[in-house]
Amino acid sequence: MSLNAAALKIMADKGLSIADVIEIAEAMEKKADRTNAERQARHRAKRNAVTVTRDPPNDIDISNPLTSETKVSSVSKRGRAKPTPDVPNDIPAEPWTEFELMRTAKRKPLNDFSRKQLWGRLRSIRDAGWNIEDVMAKAIVSQHDGFWMPDGRDSNIRRANEPRAGPFDMEEYRAKLARVGKADG
């Protein structure tokens, strides 16, 4: 609560001095600060609280918290572990996890059906001879919802058996410039 014109007028009519009004305002500020601190402490305690139940539900097997079908891959905003299905052996796990995190950040998380569809799409891209890690990296960087067959125009996506370009050779570059300069001259 703050002191408004009506409150100040009432205090003046009652004959309070300026020192008394200042004392009241300071007391009100201390109370507001204490109330804010208590509210923030309650909020922090509630946010950091862990809920513990005495008896687990009957349909959950607590002897093996992570079944063979699920693993903990990431943590949600609220600090809870999110189980996701195992990534197939033929799909690179690290880029896939990054792709799922990107989709979750876009608020478009994957369900089981769409995961299977995207894994099939990646397999068909790989079978067409493309490096699926490059395709996945492009989708993550470009914030795409899925994967598309490269058309060959993107220099960042290489064929499956094509090695990554090595370090830049300055001498070779200068020789190429000299050859081009002779051809132009």
Residue range 17-50, pLDDT digits in tens:
888 888 888 888 888 888 888 888 888 887 777 6
Q: Judge if 97 and 34 occupy the same domain.
A: no
Cα separation, 93 vs 7, in Å, equals 66
From residue 152, alpha-carbon distances to 80, 82, 96, 120 in Å are 42, 37, 23, 21
155, part of any domain: no
The pairs formed by 84-93 with CB atoms below 8 angstroms and a separation of 24 or more are 85/112, 85/115, 88/119, 90/123, 90/126, 91/119, 91/122, 91/123, 91/132, 92/132, 92/133, 92/136
Helix, strand, or coil (residue 74): strand
Specify whether 29 is located in the same domain as 75.
no
For the chain, list residues with pLDDT below 50.
66-73, 79-81, 83
Q: Which pLDDT score, from 0 to 100, does residue 146 have?
A: 94
pLDDT at 103: 94
Same domain, yes or no, for 75 and 135?
yes
Q: How many domains does the chain have?
A: 2
Q: What is the pTM assigned to this prediction?
A: 0.46
Region of 79 please: left (phi>0), alpha (psi -120 to 50) or beta.
Answer: left
| Pair 132, 86 in one domain | yes
- Per the domain annotation, does 36 fall within a domain? yes
Q: Is residue 81 part of a domain?
A: yes
Q: Are residues 81 and 134 in the same domain?
A: yes
Q: What is the reported pLDDT for 16?
A: 83
Residue 157 is predicted with a pLDDT of: 79
97 within a domain of the structure (yes/no): yes
In a domain, 78, yes or no: yes
Neighbouring C-beta atoms of residue 180, cutoff 10 Å = 10
Q: What is the DSSP letter of 16?
A: -
Q: Residue 40 belongs to what domain range?
A: 5-48
The pLDDT of residue 107 is 93
